[in-house]
Amino acid sequence: MGNRGFEKVTFSAPCVDLTFEGFGVTRNGKDVVFVPGMFPGDEGDVQIEYRRAGQLYGKLVRLSKKSPDRIDSRCPVCSICGGCVFQKYAYEAELRYKTNKVKEQFRKVAHMDVDVLPCLGMEHPEFYRNKIQMPLGKDRKGNIYTGFYKAGTHVIVPIERCYIEDQRAEKIMLAAKRLMKSMRIDPYVEDERYGIVRHLLIRTSKHFPEIMVVLVTNVDSFPSRGNFVKALVEACPEITTVVQNVNSRQTNVILGEKERILYGKGYIHDTLCGVSFRISAKSFFQVNPIQTEVLYQKAMEAAHLSKTDIVFDAYSGIGTIGLIAAKDCGKVISVEIVKEAVADGKRNAAQNGITNYEMYCDDASAFMNRMAKDKRPVDVLFMDPPRKGSDERFLNAAIKLAPKRIVYISCDPSTLARDVAFLSKSYNVESVQPVDMFPRSFHVETVVSLTRK
């Protein structure tokens, strides 16, 4: 099949499964067609829309039979936004899907049959995100809107209320859009390379009355900037700092390199597991503060820390895991390659009075290799890599370092399974615990405990 004629091809079929991305799996004869918003047990008419990477995708045009796990959603755009594939799926079914997803990735990618504990969910799986970032657009009447890009496109789906974001952000977004219109501050139009504000980013603190607003702009300076910030803070006095981030590149990366503080201190604070953290515009900080504590508690349990243990924290960011571990072990060595994150991590250690913590700006693989060569002992290695997982250089260095235990925290089950398969030459899998950090999305976080053979 070519791309032509897809809009004319409609077929009736049941949904028999869910993909890695949470799309429903249907069949049109011999062809498998993936359908967003269809769940196992659903039956209906599906219209094929496009082919991507050799796979057919369709949309549900008529539902003839409902899955017993289908529920009503309060969000009017969840079917087209693409951010929440499970807003119409019962939460218990979503958790079962995520548990099975982790188990299946180990089976398919690692060829390992591991016992996976049930995914730990939230009591109230909504309004949890402490980081909200939205692109902006302008309609024909000159009204400015914010939203999310429709999946696979650069078309913004306008959103007034998002049911997974901190509710405090809604008022700030509305005020910012109103002020931008009145002050003629145009949103950036990517295709025309015209305009000023590319994204509005809001970071909220769960434990402190602090909120950061980041204006991501295409230009370094723009008219009415000072008046805009003053009016925004007057309209929303809960805002404690405003930062401008300049990104003039043609890129999908949201934040640029240059920043200036327009109001307040340029950072906010929050607390995890009793440790206080300073968070700047670029800091990596988990987006679900409630489930992050669950995740890190499970990581600490998996580490079996003792007061004499030496801990190595790789991919450490601003030091979250290492600083939480420090109170239960003898010493933490933390390594991160981003110098701004290292500065934040050292500051976080100082403000919490944590003295058994050392942080270095270095490549973790090279650092571990030097430690192994010098025969410096490590009892526990924490690793929390980005979505793409680790590489063989790092994993070989970890095996050479030979800690008694490795605790691997992952946001992608497929790269996790791949890396654990590599480590399984020298380590046994002790436990696999999924944690639902991103309710209503297909993503799942997992903590794996490995013990040296």
DSSP, residue by residue, 339-390: HHHHHHHHHHHHHTT--SEEEEES-HHHHHHHHHHTT---SEEEE---TT--
Tell me the one-letter amino acid at 182. S
Q: Which two tokens stand for residue 272?
A: 């995890």
Q: How many CB atoms sit inside 10 A of residue 67's CB?
A: 20
Residue 412 tokens, joined: 């992608």
CA distances from 84 to 78, 219, 341, 439 (A): 6, 32, 30, 8
Q: What are phi and psi of 42, to 5 degrees?
A: -70, 150
Q: How is residue 194 annotated by DSSP?
A: B
Q: Which amino acid is at 328?
A: D
DSSP label of 435: E
Given a contact cutoff of 8 angstroms between Cβ atoms, the answer to whether 144 and 136 are in contact is: yes
Task: Give the C-alpha separation, 297 to 324, whole Å.
Answer: 9
Task: Based on the residue annotation, tell me whether 273 is a catalytic residue of this protein.
Answer: no
CA distance 391 to 400: 14
Are 196 and 186 spatial neighbours (Cβ–Cβ below 8 Å)?
yes
15, 78, 84, 411: the active-site residue: 411
117 alpha-carbon distance from chain centroid = 22
Q: Which residues have a catalytic role annotated? A: 411
